[in-house]
Structure formats: structure tokens, C-alpha cells
């Protein structure tokens, strides 16, 4: 009988925190557990929400130094008793812990890095955390732009693998009556919905979109309404926020207050799916901020999985998350005129016109493929599947 490999995953980015990185790490643990024995060290509250296939040990979420210290101590205990074959950091934050523990037991060390993991502009982080990346046995990145950032941080090209995040593909469309009820509940019946899903941070650029694009969209399409799902992050380590109040103030100043709805965070999968399928277009106006890049843009693929095209700026890893002309369009960074034109083009087309292309694009992403890619990076193999599909 072949012995299953043992993998220790250490990450702060897990539910109950809300966001793309949290969903990704949840799926990472779940998919790895299909091919390995997996133990996870994560934030307090995560155990109740973690996949049943993994064993999760909790560390205090805050303050950050305490989380790192407790994670290291638990890591020492697990490493010395369990002897994992690989130790994986779920982000750059826990990469030094993964590297240090791997040296104690001879395990393979790795980290899954997002763009901000590499570019974060913090003196202590850049002196201690970032140099660790090139010491790891392997670095896994979420997009080709993040790969470029890793190489610029002196990580060897041969030690990097690009593994795009996956997406949960719906088994069926939401019932028409559910979509109708959703629209009626939020005063959206007869409206053309522009949907924004995600945390309200400075990088996401929603306030700038309301100022520089929404007025022109509303003028051309008076039935257009921006529906915002998400809120400002409460436990983010570095992201600067855009409050609901600040976006509402901008909407009032721009004369579009009646064309925006804030629905808060929606965690129920069916309700979120209903919101997606009620929309004409998903807007993703992420700003180009050199020290705060968008690593991938999972929400664009999630929208595509529900048949909804995305319009975004071509910045960071978003270029990997949108199939131009298939699952949406990309405007040059900061070109709100082009962004507006692409959105209006989609609003004028029948919704079904772009649905097939978006769904087809989303089929390229799955959590199974994601898990296989991570496993290939953690456990070097000469198999054709790993060498062809995941080695960059």
C-alpha cells in the first residue's frame, strides 16, 4: 500500500475571515486532503468551518505577533511528532515559519504567494519575510504577473509554479422565481444590474468607478443600477478601505445615488449565485497600484462560472482571470472611458449572448485542477500531467 504524503498547511487566511484568499486556502486544504494527509494551523474560529477531511489547530487571530508565535509553537509540536513531508505557507505571511520548520524535520518547504505578498511596502517585512521566499524549496504563485514579481524578488524561475485559483462550477442555474424574488426584494425589477463582489478596499476602486464611470453609464442606460456585495475588511493586515459611507457620498456628489445598492456580505452560496445570475455584467474596476497589485481576481472567474462577463482594467493578475471577448473585456488601467464603453456594450446585448463564452472560459478553472497543481509543486514528479500542465 502506497503511503500517503503528509502536508502541514499554515495560514492566517481562512474563514471566519471573508475574502478570496480565505476561500482559496479553504479549497487548498480540501483538495490536498484528497491525495494526502493534511493538518492545518489557522486562526481561531476556523475549525468549525474547515473541511472535515483535515485536522485544524487554531491560533489567536489577533494580535498578529501572537498569531505568528502560537502558529510557530504549534508547528514545532506537530512537526516533531508528525514529521510532515511538506510544509506549505498559505501566503507570504507564514512563509518564514514554513521554512524554519522544514529545516527541523527535512520536509519540503513551499508558499502560495499572491502579488501583495511580494510587493508589500513594510520595512520589517521586506527585510525578514521577503528574503525567505528565495530560500523555500518551491514557490507557487497565483498568476503570471505574480510570477514576474517573484522573479524580481530573486526567486529562481525554476523554483516557481503558476497555479491559478479554481472556481466552484454550479450544477444548475438558479430558478427564475428566485431571481425575480431577489430583484423585487432589492427594488431591482426591470433594472440592468452591474454587480460588484468583493471587499471595499482602495485597490478595488469602487469609489473612483462611481465618480468616473457610473454617471456616463446611467446617462446612456437609465435603468442601470450598481449592486455592491461586500464590505470594508475588518481584519485585513494592510488593505486600505473604502467605506460604504464614502462611496455613498461620492454617489450623491455624482448624482447617481438612486443607482446604487449595498447588500453587505452574502455568504450563502445560493443567494450569491442568484445575485450573479440576475446581473448583466460584473464590474471589477481594480486600480493599478504598484505596491498593492491584484494577484489574480478570482471573482472574475466566479462571475464567468455563472455566465456573467466581467469588465475590468488590465492590471495585475486580472489579465489571467478574464478571457478577452470570451468572458469579458479589459480596458487599459485608468481608462474609464473605455471601461464605460465596454460595460455599455454588454448592457445593450442580450444577457444570453455572452453567457456561453463566459461559461466556456470558467471551465478552464476547477478546484480539482488547482489541487493537482499544488500537489505537483509540493511533491516533484516526472509524470506527464505535472510537467505539462503546471511547471512554468
Tens of pLDDT, residues 5-45: 999 999 999 988 877 788 899 999 999 999 899 999 999 99
Three cell numbers written together for 319: 489579465
Portion of the chain with pLDDT greater than 70, in percent:
94
Same domain, 249 and 145: no
Same domain, 157 and 305: no
Same domain, 18 and 143: yes
What is the structure's pLDDT at 385? 46
Q: Cα(329)–Cα(346) distance, rounded to whole angstroms?
A: 10
Does 120 reside within a domain? yes
Q: Cα(256)–Cα(184) distance, rounded to whole angstroms?
A: 20
Same domain, 29 and 161: yes
Q: In the chain, how many domains are there? A: 2
Residues 6+ apart with CB under 8 A from 85: 5, 6, 7, 36, 107, 108, 379
Q: Report which DSSP code applies to 335.
A: -
Same domain, 348 and 370: no
Model confidence, pTM: 0.84
Does 372 reside within a domain? yes
Same domain, 236 and 343: yes
The distance of Cα 150 from the centroid of its chain, to the nearest Å, equals 18
Same domain, 356 and 370: no
Does 1 reside within a domain? no
Domain CATH code at residue 87: 3.40.50.2000
What is the structure's pLDDT at 307? 95
Does 340 reside within a domain? yes
Same domain, 357 and 374: no
Does 250 reside within a domain? yes
Q: Report which DSSP code applies to 257.
A: G
The distance of Cα 88 from the centroid of its chain, to the nearest Å, equals 18
What is the structure's pLDDT at 203? 86
Same domain, 190 and 151: no
Does 13 reside within a domain? yes
Same domain, 32 and 130: yes
Does 38 reside within a domain? yes
What is the structure's pLDDT at 381? 55
230-267 pLDDT tens trace: 887 765 555 567 889 999 999 999 999 999 999 998 88
Locus of grid cell 524554519: 100
For residue 98, give its domain range. 6-166+366-389
What is the structure's pLDDT at 390? 46
Neighbours of 138 (CB within 10 A): 20
For the chain (392 residues), the mean pLDDT of every run of 10, in chain order, is 87 86 90 93 90 90 95 97 96 97 95 92 90 96 94 94 91 93 96 94 92 98 96 63 90 96 91 96 92 85 96 94 95 97 93 87 90 86 46 40
Same domain, 88 and 180: no
Does 194 reside within a domain? yes
Same domain, 16 and 102: yes
Amino acid at each position: 500500500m502506497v503511503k500517503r504524503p503528509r502536508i502541514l498547511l499554515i495560514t492566517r487566511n481562512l474563514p471566519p475571515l471573508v475574502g478570496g484568499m480565505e476561500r482559496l486556502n479553504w479549497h487548498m486544504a480540501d483538495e490536498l486532503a484528497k491525495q494526502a494527509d493534511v493538518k492545518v494551523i489557522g486562526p481561531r474560529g476556523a475549525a468549525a468551518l474547515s473541511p472535515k477531511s483535515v485536522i485544524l489547530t487554531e491560533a489567536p487571530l489577533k494580535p498578529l505577533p501572537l498569531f505568528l508565535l502560537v502558529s510557530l509553537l504549534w508547528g514545532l509540536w506537530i512537526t516533531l511528532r508528525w514529521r510532515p513531508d511538506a510544509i506549505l505557507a498559505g501566503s507570504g505571511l507564514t512563509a518564514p515559519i514554513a521554512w524554519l520548520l522544514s529545516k527541523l524535520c527535512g520536509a519540503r518547504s513551499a508558499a502560495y504567494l499572491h502579488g501583495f505578498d511580494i510587493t508589500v511596502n513594510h520595512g520589517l517585512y521586506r527585510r525578514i519575510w521577503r528574503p525567505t521566499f528565495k530560500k523555500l524549496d518551491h514557490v507557487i504563485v497565483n498568476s503570471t504577473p505574480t510570477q514576474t514579481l517573484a522573479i524580481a524578488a530573486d526567486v529562481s524561475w525554476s523554483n516557481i509554479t503558476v497555479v491559478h485559483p479554481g472556481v466552484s462550477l454550479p450544477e444548475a442555474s438558479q430558478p427564475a422565481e428566485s431571481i425575480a424574488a431577489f430583484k423585487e426584494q432589492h427594488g431591482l425589477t426591470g433594472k440592468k444590474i452591474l454587480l460588484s463582489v468583493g471587499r471595499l478596499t482602495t485597490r478595488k476602486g469602487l469609489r473612483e468607478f462611481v465618480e468616473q464611470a457610473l454617471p456616463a453609464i446611467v446617462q446612456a442606460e437609465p435603468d442601470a443600477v450598481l449592486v455592491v456585495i461586500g464590505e470594508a475588511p475588518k481584519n485585513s493586515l494592510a488593505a486600505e478601505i473604502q467605506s460604504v459611507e464614502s462611496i455613498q457620498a461620492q454617489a450623491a456628489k455624482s448624482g447617481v445615488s438612486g443607482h446604487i445598492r449595498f447588500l453587505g456580505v452574502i455568504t450563502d452560496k445560493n443567494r450569491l449565485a442568484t445575485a450573479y445570475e440576475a446581473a448583466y455584467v460584473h464590474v471589477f474596476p481594480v486600480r493599478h497600484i504598484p505596491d498593492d497589485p491584484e494577484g489574480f481576481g478570482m471573482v472574475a472567474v466566479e462571475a464567468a462560472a455563472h455566465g456573467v462577463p466581467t469588465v475590468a482594467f488590465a492590471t495585475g493578475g486580472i489579465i489571467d482571470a478574464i478571457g478577452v471577448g470570451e468572458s469579458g473585456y479589459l480596458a487599459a488601467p485608468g481608462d474609464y472611458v473605455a471601461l464605460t464603453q465596454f460595460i455599455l456594450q454588454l448592457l445593450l446585448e442580450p444577457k444570453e449572448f455572452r453567457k456561453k463564452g463566459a461559461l466556456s472560459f470558467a471551465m478552464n478553472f476547477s478546484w480539482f485542477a488547482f489541487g493537482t497543481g499544488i500537489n505537483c509543486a509540493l511533491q516533484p514528479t516526472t509524470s506527464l500531467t505535472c510537467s505539462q500542465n503546471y511547471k512554468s
